[in-house]
Amino acid sequence: MWRKRSEPGVCLLLIIAISVAGASLYAQRRNADREAAVALQNLGPQAASRAEAEAFTAIQTAADAAAKLTAANKFVAAYPNTTLVGLVNRLRMDALINLGQYKEAMAAGEAGLAQETQYIEALIKRADDAVNPGRRDRDAPTPIDKNAPAFKAYVSDFQNVSLYYIQRLMKTAEQMSDAAKAAQFAEKAYAMNPDDLVTLLTLAESIPDPARSEELARKAVNQVTALVSSPAGAGMPPAQKADLLSSVHSTMGRVYLNQKKYADSQKAYLAAVAARGDDPALYLLLGIAYVRQSPPKFNEAMDAWAKSVYLRGATEAQAREYLQAIYQQEKKSLDGLDQFIQMAGSNIGQ
């Protein structure tokens, strides 16, 4: 009888216990879901304090490159252990490039790329570790669902960040006249995006392999030719189309010049000046392609160099030196040289 009287109480206690356990499990699950949601919303590096956040904002809102660099240097000194260090170095790289401080820009960019890569790798490891069963340590970071769209998008976007770094460093190496390093970054950029025009042109001009240089330059020419002939190209400003065509044909001309294919180089440079006839550097190189042929085309070379001199620019002194030497050789004097330059210049674009 005692058992029978106590059974309802036991059942009630069991029901209550189960309900409490269920509520506790539900609360734990709800808290875990909230933690996971917050973790996915804050995948990127975060400022550890309000002061740090304000200092970082000061970099982003700086009025010019010099002010941005000053704010970034101040930030790094004040917060040496910040998780934002990679992004700050990216901003420093951009500021230094704009200021023409290429050696310093290279150092900042390489550091930033390494730091941001390290951050994303740690994030991926955190997502991988979350898959493993077992009790999570109280101090461990909140698990991340590696299959969540937000996580996948963040990881995918880092590929664009990495490519941005590499392309900027590639151009910085060019500014430093470091062809080997420019080629190194160009190879990385090409592996990530083999159709990028800037990468194609840089790689074509910087790698030592003649056959591959020609292949890449030809790919760039074909790509731009197809673009400007397409419906999308029809809506492009004429100046933009001219710059694109001039760039790819000029690169093709330089590749052929390096290969000592001077007739082919001549054709490429003629295509470049047909697209853009106001670039004195193109006429300088066209003249070199003429004069190095066998037999040399002295008259054509003098005309090209005279146009380069007429247009002035950074190549004026070199073009004048070449022109005077051949003009003296052919005319036995420098009489009439100025008139010759003016006549050649008046024919540009005709």
Task: Report yes or no on 150 lying in a domain.
Answer: yes
90 plus 183 within the same structural domain: yes
CB burial class (10 A; 0-12, 13-18, 19+) of residue 26? exposed
Q: Checking phi first, is residue 260 left (phi over 0); if not, alpha (psi -120 to 50) or beta?
A: left
With tokens 């390093």, the residue in question is: 181
Here the contacts of 155-162 (C-beta below 8 Å, separation 24 or greater) are 155/120, 155/123, 155/124, 158/116, 158/120, 159/192, 161/90, 161/116, 162/113, 162/116, 162/117, 162/192
Residue 137: count other Cβ atoms within 10 Å of its Cβ.
7
The number of distinct structural domains making up the chain is 3
> Is 15 a domain residue?
no
End-to-end CA distance of the chain: 119
Query: Would you say residue 1 lies in a domain?
Result: no
- Examine residue 19 and state whether it is found in any structural domain, yes or no: no
How does pLDDT run across 97-133, given as a tens digit for each residue?
Answer: 999 999 999 999 999 999 999 999 998 988 888 766 5
Mean pLDDT score across all residues of the chain: 88
Same domain, 180 and 266: no
pLDDT tier, 286 (very low <50, low <70, confident <90, very high otherwise):
very high
- 125's tokens: 């490891």
Q: For residue range 172-220, what is the model confidence (pLDDT) as tens digits? A: 999 999 999 999 999 999 999 999 999 999 999 999 999 999 999 999 9
**Are 264 and 213 part of one and the same domain?**
yes
Q: Are 281 and 314 in contact (CB under 8 A)?
A: yes
User: Same domain for 268 and 289?
Assistant: no
Same domain for 344 and 228 = no
DSSP assignment string, 156-181: HHHHHHHHHHHHHHHHHHHHTT-HHH
Alpha-carbon distance of 216 to 152, in angstroms, equals 33
For residue 128, what pLDDT is reported?
Answer: 85
Instruction: Supply the CATH number for residue 118's domain.
Output: 1.25.40
Q: What is the pLDDT of residue 181?
A: 95
> What is the domain extent for residue 173?
44-132+143-188
Residues 163 and 106 in one domain: yes
Q: Judge if 94 and 182 occupy the same domain.
A: yes
d(C-alpha 43, C-alpha 11), whole Å:
47
157 with 73, same domain? yes
Segment 297-343, tens digit of pLDDT: 999 999 999 999 999 999 999 999 999 999 999 999 999 999 999 99
Over residues 220-242, the pLDDT tens digits come to: 999 999 999 999 999 999 999 99
Same domain? For 326 and 349 the reply is: yes
